[in-house]
């Protein structure tokens, strides 16, 4: 009996060997383009407020597209001297933001704006502090050729990716063609960015999931101030994103050095207006404001309490009460900061599928 088993085993092993041998001698099967649709899971209350995340008709999310975008986001090959990736200035542990006041390009020069976090941007329709791009795809074109960022040219990027050992096959899997071009690169990057969704915080548990114990007393008072006397939610709207996606002047300067939205529109009425940023993971995305002038959340709250310049050009209609001073007490300020810190999503900041795949 035992002998029989051994013979049967041997025969099976030989059959497998034979099959393997056969495999290597025949031509590989033709590649099939068959991407898998990817869905982004967000809590139902987010969909109730915002609707499903909009998807451009010509760039639907697929597993293969997102995975290619992730590889590209972390690939230093995109920069002229191969030292800088998107992730160099957009670090996951900092909410895909830069902890430096001004990012430094490959040529050593510094920009004059603070980098922006990449969080829940799938619902946004204006990008950069001055809103000069209207899609994530369009946005992703710019850093690659920006002389104070990656300082590369698109033909050079395409040549490098085309002659790479892995990329042409990955482009085929994602888009059905081995021919790399810049539009496919930015499509993949945008797909990956759309998966950067963050809603798993203590604030969400408290506010949307009715867990009364998720915030302590100070944090709860901070939330009351945020939506009440401190008027923060008139612009950082409680629509799950903490931004109304508008461009507004919150009164930082009497004479703004950076014209903000006016740089893009050319209209004097837009001078000093900047994109209202979302506030999720705000404790991780210091420094703050378009020029990174504030190092801490305490500095930000002090500014809103007593530093607003009411004579700033085109100051927002919601700002007048601030100009007269919000008169926040030390306790109020501490409560507001404590509340802002409950917007951190530890799962997002460490999510494996958003990390460097290499
Ligand atoms: C040298 C640092 C640097 C690199 C590299 C870089 N960025 Fe940025 N990013 C910035 C800065 C600074 C801004 C804000 C610039 C402005 O408003 O003019 C920004 C803005 C953005 C925004 C706009 C966010 C919003 O809320 O409007 C997105 C999205 C973004 N970057 C994605 C990328 C992608 C994708 C790459 C790689 C292709 C990349 N960045 C490479 C520094 C960098
Ligand atoms: C008039 C609308 C408005 C109101 C009201 C407002 N903000 Fe802002 N907030 C903005 C704008 C616009 C910016 C970006 C300004 C810039 O960089 O020039 C900003 C920036 C911030 C930032 C920095 C974000 C970053 O990524 O750098 C924080 C934090 C912040 N606000 C918190 C608050 C708090 C707390 C309150 C209430 C005390 C408040 N805001 C009230 C419009 C507003």
- 206 and 182 in a common domain: no
Ligand nearest to the CA of 232: 2
- 248 and 110 in a common domain: no
pLDDT in tens, 85-106: 999 999 999 999 999 999 999 9
The whole-number pLDDT of residue 17 equals 45
- 186 and 59 in a common domain: yes
pTM confidence score:
0.92
Looking at ligand 1, which residue's alpha carbon is closest to its atom 13? Answer: 115
Looking at ligand 2, which residue's alpha carbon is closest to its atom 11? Answer: 276
- Containing structural domain, residue 162: 44-197
Confidence of residue 322 (pLDDT cuts 50, 70, 90): low
Number of domains in the chain: 2
Domain final residue, candidates 197, 218, 240? 197
Q: Is 17 helix (H, G, I), strand (E, B) or coil?
A: helix
| CB-based pocket (< 6 A), ligand 2 | 230-232, 234-236, 248, 250, 252, 274, 276-277, 279, 282, 285, 288-290, 300-301, 304, 316, 318-319, 336
Ligand nearest to the CA of 280: 2
Task: Classify residue 183: in a domain, yes or no.
Answer: yes
**CB of 189 within 8 A of CB of 271?**
no
- 215 and 183 in a common domain: no
Distance 275 CA to ligand 2 centre (A): 9
Task: Classify residue 165: in a domain, yes or no.
Answer: yes
Query: Rounded to whole angstroms, what are the CA distances from 43 to 96, 285, 345?
Result: 21, 23, 14
Taking the C-alpha atoms of residue 74 and residue 249, their distance in angstroms, rounded to an integer, is 34
Task: Classify residue 36: in a domain, yes or no.
Answer: no
Which atom number of ligand 2 is nearest to the Cα of residue 319? 1
- 230 and 188 in a common domain: no
Which atom number of ligand 1 is nearest to the Cα of residue 111? 12
Q: Is 76 helix (H, G, I), strand (E, B) or coil?
A: helix
The domain that contains 269 carries what CATH number?
A: 1.10.760.10
Count the neighbouring beta carbons within 10 Å of the beta carbon of residue 263: 15
- 207 and 135 in a common domain: no
pLDDT in tens, 185-223: 999 999 999 999 999 999 999 999 999 999 999 999 999
Task: Classify residue 22: in a domain, yes or no.
Answer: no
Residues ≥6 apart with Cβ < 8 Å to 292? 100, 101, 102, 113, 114
């Amino acid at each position: 009996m035992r002998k029989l088993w051994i013979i049967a085993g041997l025969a099976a092993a030989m059959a497998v060997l034979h099959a393997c041998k056969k495999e290597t001698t025949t031509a590989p099967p033709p590649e099939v383009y068959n991407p898998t649709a990817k869905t982004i899971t967000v809590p139902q209350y987010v969909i109730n407020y915002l609707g499903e995340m909009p998807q451009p008709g010509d760039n639907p999310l697929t597993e293969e597209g997102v995975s290619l975008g992730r590889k590209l986001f972390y690939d230093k090959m995109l920069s002229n001297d191969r030292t800088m990736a998107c992730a160099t200035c957009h670090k996951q542990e900092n909410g895909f933001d830069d902890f430096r006041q001004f990012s430094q390009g490959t040529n050593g020069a510094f920009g004059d704006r603070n980098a922006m976090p990449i969080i829940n941007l799938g619902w946004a329709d204006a990008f950069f502090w001055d809103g000069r791009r209207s899609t994530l795809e369009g946005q992703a074109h710019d850093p690659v050729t920006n002389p104070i960022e990656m300082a590369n040219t698109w033909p050079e990027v395409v040549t490098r990716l085309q002659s790479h050992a892995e990329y042409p096959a990955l482009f085929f899997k994602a888009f059905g063609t081995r021919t790399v071009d810049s539009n496919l690169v930015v499509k993949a990057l945008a797909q990956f960015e759309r998966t950067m969704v963050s809603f798993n915080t203590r604030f969400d548990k408290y506010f949307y999931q009715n867990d009364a114990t998720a915030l302590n007393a100070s944090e709860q008072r901070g939330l009351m101030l945020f939506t009440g006397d401190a008027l923060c939610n008139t612009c950082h709207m409680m629509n799950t994103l903490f931004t109304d996606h508008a461009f507004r002047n919150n009164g930082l300067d009497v004479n703004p050095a950076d014209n903000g939205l006016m740089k893009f529109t050319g209209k004097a009425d837009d001078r000093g207006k900047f994109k209202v940023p979302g506030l999720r993971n705000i404790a991780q995305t210091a420094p703050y404001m378009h020029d990174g002038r504030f190092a801490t959340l305490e500095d930000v709250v002090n500014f809103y309490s007593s530093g607003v310049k009411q004579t700033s050009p085109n100051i927002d209609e919601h700002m007048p009460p601030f100009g007269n001073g919000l008169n926040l007490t030390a306790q109020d300020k501490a409560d507001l900061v404590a509340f802002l810190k409950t917007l951190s999503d530890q799962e997002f900041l460490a999510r494996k599928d958003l990390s460097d795949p290499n």
